[in-house]
Structure 1
Amino acid sequence: MKISVLKHAKGRITAIVKIAFLVISVIALSIQDLWAADGNAGISEATNQVKGYFDTGTNLMYAIGAVSGLVGAIKVYKKWNDGEHDTGKMASAWFGSCIFLVVVATVLKSFFGI
């Protein structure tokens, strides 16, 4: 009789463990869905914030290009007046960097469609 009672108790414990495992699994999956929803909302919020700063960033790149162009023009003019021979090389380097900044800002603006 003791053996049948132990088998019956063991069966109940096994059933309780299975039910507990099922409940824990369901809770874990529902929490995971909540975390995923928060992650998607966070990614959407970050995307909106980056879009908001994009125009300011492109204007900043244009301003940096303008300042760089003025500094380059002054340096090239000084070299030209001093009669140095590598004036053309320096002018093309400064002019190229300014064009690069403007083109990158314009391409990024048109590429992302903002």
Structure 2
Amino acid sequence: MRKITIFKRKHLLVNAMLLMSTVIARAQDGAAGIAEADTKVRSYFEPGTNLMYAIGAVLGLVGAVKVFQKWNAGDQDTSKVAAAWFGSCIFLVVVATVLQSFFGV
């Protein structure tokens, strides 16, 4: 094993102290960064919720057309298809509403 000279030890110690002081200086601004991130994330909830409602409306229209086509064709599984499309629309609306109420936007 090579011995570390006193000069190298002091050099390593000084570098470690400089690194720690930099980390501590950056960490003191952490609360402000977290608050800024919180406001930015919360600003996206209302447009995101509206987008989910719009996607649910489009899915509802597409599902209604698909179910109508199956019903006119006389398919036996029309009720399954209707339940699946209706369930997906309800799921999107419920998720959007729960997210909005959960995060208090």
Shorter-chain TM-score bucket reads 0.7 to 0.9
Larger radius of gyration: 1
- Of 44, 67, 71, which residue of structure 2 is paired with 1:76? 67
Structure 2 regions of 5+ residues with no counterpart? 1-5
Question: CA-atom RMSD, angstroms?
Answer: 2.4
**Alignment CA distance shift 1:33-1:77 (3 Å):** same
Which one has the bigger helix percentage? 1
Identity in percent:
61
Tell me the secondary structure at the aligned position of residue 113 of structure 1: coil
Matched residue, 1:6:
none
Shift of residue 47, structure 1, vs aligned partner? 1.7
TM value normalised by structure 1: 0.73
- Of 43, 53, 56, which residue of structure 1 is paired with 2:44? 53
Matched residue, 1:105:
96
1:22-101 equivalences in 2 (<5 Å): 27-101=18-92
Shift of residue 42, structure 1, vs aligned partner? 3.0
Structure 1 regions of 5+ residues with no counterpart? 1-13
Corresponding pairs, count: 100
Counterpart of 1:43, as a letter, is I
Deviations 1:66-113 (A, max 9, x none): 000000000000100110000000000000000000000001111111
